[in-house]
Structure 1
């Protein structure tokens, strides 16, 4: 039975990380838009679609587009560092999330530069050189793996399913459900 709760926790946590990463990334675009005098017309955060932020007025598209991945990596790193300073019991989860965001944002920007996908198309149109996008990926992806590596061995964690309680597995599933509701509610139509 412990293995089932371990799997429930793991799947729920990965889903939570994916959805929270999209939320933090889009928050960067929203803040970038607002701070540069833009007007947000739509934010899509539905869990079954690719997230995006649309601006009806965007006086600084280069800054707004970079605000997403930059805040998308800096805010989770800040959460982790604050968690370490406060010695919170969830510091390992915060570290995993920070690593997840570093890898996801870095891979998206570096990989997307090849085809001009999503934000990368705007970055290229506004004059960001491809080498800058690759450099972002070369900094963030290894940093994310480094954070994950410092958590210890996944195999050791996997061999000890009793380390995940039934309560924490259900709590993580409930957290994902709450995050989905929150994202759908804050996703402008």
Structure 2
């Protein structure tokens, strides 16, 4: 039963991190679009689709496209840094999430630049050189792995004093179900 709880917790928390990362990333695009006077025509955040924010007119496309990955990488770090150190369990979860966001956003731009997927194509179209995406990935991906490394070794989850128990597993499953259930497609009218 303990193994089931650990596996359930890990899988569900990865799902929460994936949807949370997409939400924070798209929030960056939204904030930039609103701040630059653009109009958001659609936001897609879904467990079965890659997230996106459509803006038209987009008065500052370079700002809007770059703020997604920048905000997506930096905001979770800021939130994590504000959690008191004696809140071990929430701080650890947010540290994992912040590392996840750094790795995901860095890989998205750094590796995605080769195929020019999603934001990468728009970043190039707005005049940013490809090396800026590589630099972003080279900085953020190792930082994310460093944050994960500071959490300890994955086998530590299996130790008797691990905070991962059946309650934590079911709470992560509930969190994933709630977040996935509220994932949305928005078309402002």
Unaligned 5+ residue runs, structure 1? none
Q: Report how many aligned residue pairs link the two structures.
A: 187
**How far does residue 71 in structure 1 lie from its aligned partner after superposition?**
0.5
Equivalent residues of 2:77, 2:98 under 8 A apart: yes
Matched, 1:188 2:180: no
Matched, 1:103 2:103: yes
Q: TM-score normalised to the size of structure 1?
A: 0.94
Match of 2:145 in 1: 145
Structure with greater helix percent: 1
Unaligned 5+ residue runs, structure 2? none
**How far does residue 59 in structure 1 lie from its aligned partner after superposition?**
0.4
Q: CA RMSD in A?
A: 1.6
Q: Which moved more, 1:151-160 or 1:34-43?
A: 151-160
Equivalent residues of 1:2, 1:162 under 8 A apart: no
Partner Cα distance (1:173, 1:55) in 2: 33
SS of match in other structure, 2:132: helix
Match of 1:70 in 2: 70
Match of 1:26 in 2: 26
Partner Cα distance (2:129, 2:84) in 1: 36
Equivalent residues of 1:3, 1:161 under 8 A apart: no
Match of 1:51 in 2: 51
Q: TM-score normalised to the size of structure 2?
A: 0.94
Once the two structures are superposed, the pairs formed by residues 110-125 of structure 1 within 5 Å of their partners are: 110-125=110-125
SS of match in other structure, 1:51: strand
**How far does residue 163 in structure 1 lie from its aligned partner after superposition?**
3.7
**How far does residue 46 in structure 1 lie from its aligned partner after superposition?**
1.5
What whole-Å deviation, never above 9, does each CA across 1:120-154 have from its counterpart, x for those lacking one?
Answer: 00000001111111000000000000000001111
Partner Cα distance (2:47, 2:80) in 1: 24
